[in-house]
A and B are shown apart, each in its own frame.
Chain A
Amino acid sequence: MTMTQTPDTLHRILDYANRADPYPLYAELRKTPVARQEDGSYVISTYRELTDILHNPHLSSDIRNLARPMAAADGRATPAFINLDPPEHDRMRRMAMRHFGPPHTPGLVDGMRPDLTAIVSGLIDDLADKTQIDIVDDFAYPFPVTVICHLLGVPREDEPRFHQWVNAIIDAIDYDAKTDPPEKLSNGEQARKDIHAYLGGLLEPRHGKPGDDLLSRLANEDGPDGRMTDEEIISTANLLLIAGHETTVNLITNGMLTLLRHPQHLQRLRNEPDLIVPLVEELLRYEPPVHIIPWRAAYSDIAIADTVIPKGSQIMLMLASGSRDPDRFHDPDRFDPDRRDNQHLGFGSGIHLCFGGPLARLETQIALTELVRRLDKPRLVADPPPYRPSPVLRGPIHLHVEQG
């Protein structure tokens, strides 16, 4: 049974006017778990079908497997592992993971806890005598940027340059030829070239000079899978630079917003610091930083929920909708940090599960704990706050808070 969803629902979700609260629209979307759109693409919005397809080996992340090419994607560049399939995906991800996590570097993220705490404390020290704070600009953005720059070996002072490029790239992710101005796409393309050249410039002098940052390690170390080419290193670093801060900004900001909207939990967190661990998991379910995987491709026909998605089809995965599916989560629209069995889709699932998830968790746990502990009677200035344009990486562009 293939049903064609009224195109309205998806368009309304992508429409900026609904950025502040897409959840009722997700509920509407879930009435058709696998919905064929007018343009032949498919939208999947229910938990069971999302987890099924994320573990389905016929689902491809390689743009070359789309029957109809997509405007927003840059088909010429060397793809990062997020846009590759096994076995290339597995090999590239393993090579990057060698310098970030287990089994080769198991203690890195846990060992960052003192540094993360110090960065957070420093940022909050600067907020102490301000009565008006922008959680985004004053805290949630500079914190993860500092962390990822240090990890990669990107000079922190270059942030103003790559900030612009990253914004242009993210704006172009959901480019729609029908409604968006062509500059949105061309700006994104130019930004990709600029960031590529910039990272190439950082990589070049690292050859033959072993160091602690990820760029140096990738440039010099040979593991069992060999060494990445320079193009592969650049695309990997580009991915980690963008994903390493953009998503965490949203997670921290969404977290503060959610706590300010639920003062009883904010108060509890002050009294029970251990609550932060399940609270961040609930946040990843309830207000995740990544709402949508904009496209995947059917490598071959995929049977799912009584539907067969034909080979070459474009498939959009509504992760944030899945995490609010009442067939999986009891009372899904309630923010409940004590929730058990919280197998949310906040970091996706399957082989592409978020590479930096452990770091994002730790950053957010430390950030929210300290914000709640040290801000003095924080209050929202505007609810809802203004949102960033993207429906994919969704979060407030500013979060103004009063204190004192």
Chain B
Amino acid sequence: MRVVVDLSRCQGYAQCAFLAPDAFRMHGEEALMYDPNPDDSQRDQVLRAAAACPIQAILVEQLEGPAMTVEARRS
């Protein structure tokens, strides 16, 4: 699953790191490092973590299916 955190808004509350400790880790007291592509087996925890963010800075992709049909690709 795809995840992105708006770290310019993140204030380091670490709520995500409590609830999905394999996907969200604190680097020191306040800096968040996260896995932008956590395994689907972590889905429940990642969704709990995203919901718990006090500033709602975690975006988890909920769309199904392929992102796009690519017209031209470099070989």
The answer to whether any beta carbons of A and B sit under 8 Å apart in the complex is yes
Task: Kindly state whether residue A110 has any CB partner on chain B within 8 Å.
Answer: yes
Indicate if the CB atoms of B54 and A110 lie closer than 8 Å: no
Q: Mark A225-239, 1 if CB is under 8 A from B, else 0.
A: 000000000000000
Task: Kindly state whether residue A358 has any CB partner on chain B within 8 Å.
Answer: yes
Q: Mark B46-75, 1 if CB is under 8 A from A, else 0.
A: 011001101110000000000000000000
Q: In the complex, A271→B58 CA distance in Å? A: 26
Task: Kindly state whether residue A295 has any CB partner on chain B within 8 Å.
Answer: no
Indicate if the CB atoms of A277 and B51 lie closer than 8 Å: yes
Q: In the complex, A274→B20 CA distance in Å? A: 15
Indicate if the CB atoms of A341 and B19 lie closer than 8 Å: no
Indicate if the CB atoms of B17 and A343 lie closer than 8 Å: no
Indicate if the CB atoms of B52 and A358 lie closer than 8 Å: yes
Q: Mark A333-370, 1 if CB is under 8 A from B, else 0.
A: 00000000111000101000100011001100100000
Contact A110 to B51, CB < 8 A, known contacts A102-B21, A103-B27, A342-B56: no
Chain B residues closer than 8 Å to A357, beta-carbon distance: 15, 52
Indicate if the CB atoms of B47 and A358 lie closer than 8 Å: no
- 18 A–B contacts from the bound complex (CB under 8 Å): A101-B14, A102-B14, A102-B26, A103-B14, A103-B26, A103-B29, A106-B21, A110-B20, A110-B21, A110-B45, A274-B47, A277-B48, A343-B55, A357-B52, A358-B18, A358-B19, A358-B52, A361-B48
Chain A residues closer than 8 Å to B55, beta-carbon distance: 343
Q: Of A102, A274, A343, which one neighbours B18 at CB under 8 angstroms?
A: A102
Indicate if the CB atoms of B18 and A347 lie closer than 8 Å: no
Indicate if the CB atoms of B19 and A110 lie closer than 8 Å: yes
**Size range of the chain B interface in the assembly:** 20 to 34
* Interface residue count on the A side (C-beta < 8 Å): 24
Q: Shortest CB–CB separation between residue A95 and chain B, in angstroms?
A: 12
Q: Shortest CB–CB separation between residue A83 and chain B, in angstroms?
A: 20
In the complex, which residue of chain A has the Cβ closest to the Cβ of B21? A106
Question: What is the predominant secondary structure among interface residues of chain B facing chain A?
Answer: mixed
Indicate if the CB atoms of A109 and B19 lie closer than 8 Å: yes
In the complex, which residue of chain A has the Cβ closest to the Cβ of B45? A110
In the complex, which residue of chain B has the Cβ closest to the Cβ of A365? B48
Chain A residues closer than 8 Å to B27, beta-carbon distance: 103
Q: Shortest CB–CB separation between residue A93 and chain B, in angstroms?
A: 10
Indicate if the CB atoms of B26 and A361 lie closer than 8 Å: no
Contact A358 to B15, CB < 8 A, known contacts A103-B26, A103-B29, A343-B56: yes
Indicate if the CB atoms of B51 and A106 lie closer than 8 Å: no
B14, B27, B45: most-surrounded residue (chain A CB, <10 A): B14
Task: Kindly state whether residue A332 has any CB partner on chain B within 8 Å.
Answer: no
Chain A residues closer than 8 Å to B51, beta-carbon distance: 277-278, 280-281
Indicate if the CB atoms of A106 and B17 lie closer than 8 Å: yes
Chain B residues closer than 8 Å to A361, beta-carbon distance: 19, 48, 52
Chain B residues closer than 8 Å to A103, beta-carbon distance: 14, 17, 25-29
Task: Kindly state whether residue A107 has any CB partner on chain B within 8 Å.
Answer: yes
In the complex, which residue of chain B has the Cβ closest to the Cβ of A343? B56
Task: Kindly state whether residue A99 has any CB partner on chain B within 8 Å.
Answer: no
Chain A residues closer than 8 Å to B29, beta-carbon distance: 94, 103
Q: Shortest CB–CB separation between residue A108 and chain B, in angstroms?
A: 8
Q: In the complex, A107→B20 CA distance in Å? A: 8
Q: Of B17, B48, B52, which one neighbours A102 at CB under 8 angstroms?
A: B17
